[in-house]
Chains A and B, each alone.
Chain A
Amino acid sequence: DAGITQSPRHKVTETGTPVTLRCHQTENHRYMYWYRQDPGHGLRLIHYSYGVKDTDKGEVSDGYSVSRSKTEDFLLTLESATSSQTSVYFCAITPGGALSGANVLTFGAGSRLTVL
């Protein structure tokens, strides 16, 4: 996972509390993504960013917001965490838009969130 770090790696929180996960990259890649991984669902896209202050929704965006004020940082916020948001969250980066042999997605190590 060279060049991409997620924090925190593990977090336990209570229902109704706000939570922010951070993704930090040193690759200067334009595109950043947040996915969640759940048994039986594989990985599903939450939100993505295609530049500073440019973000868009993915497949499962309800209950999540994102911000990208700098190229290197992409924050995922759960305004009021619910038990259904217990999951492993992965950040990913890629330099370009259209995925091809050159623009491969690189993933962080993941952040495991438990909402009690």
Chain B
Amino acid sequence: GDSVTQMEGPVTLSEEAFLTINCTYTATGYPSLFWYVQYPGEGLQLLLKATKADDKGSNKGFEATYRKETTSFHLEKGSVQVSDSAVYFCALSGGSQGNLIFGKGTKLSVKP
């Protein structure tokens, strides 16, 4: 079945460092791809999305490109801030019923 694999955490970076969180997927058809972020004690919030191959999603300095040839959707940010500390989830659309299939999440900690 469809699945998402993302890099294991935790990831610890210093402020202003470059961030990459790897995400690869297995899916039949052409899913939409998403990154969600979960701040401590809160629910998940959509960070960015891409609906077809070669689309680039971007938001708040984060970006990810839908790569069909490598089945990847890696999350990047050029300069992280302490406020980016959170858990990041990669997800794909799971079918006509609209559910999402999630990766296990990657915890990011950014130190001042």
Residues of A near any B CB (own CB < 8 A): 1, 31, 33, 40-45, 48, 50, 56, 58, 90, 92, 94, 96-101, 103-110
Contact = CB atoms under 8 A, between A and B. Distances in A.
A110 B104 CA distance: 17
B93 A99 contact: yes
Nearest to A41: B104
Contacts of B46: 104-106
Interface residues of B, number: 23
Contacts of B89: 42-43
Contacts of A108: 43
A94 B51 CA distance: 16
Contacts of B93: 98-100
Q: Which 4 A-B pairs have the closest CB atoms?
A: A99-B93, A107-B43, A42-B104, A42-B102
A99 B93 CA distance: 6
A113 to B, nearest CB: 15
Nearest to A50: B97
Contacts of B102: 42-44
Contacts of B103: 42
A100 B43 contact: no
Nearest to B89: A42
B98 A101 contact: no
B32 interface: yes
Interface string B70-112: 0000000000000000000100011111111011110000000
B65 to A, nearest CB: 15
B69 interface: no
B26 interface: no
Contact of B97 (A1, A31, A101): A31
B32 A101 contact: yes
A35 to B, nearest CB: 8
Contact of A48 (B34, B44, B97, B104): B97
Given A105-B46, A109-B42, A99 B104 contact: no
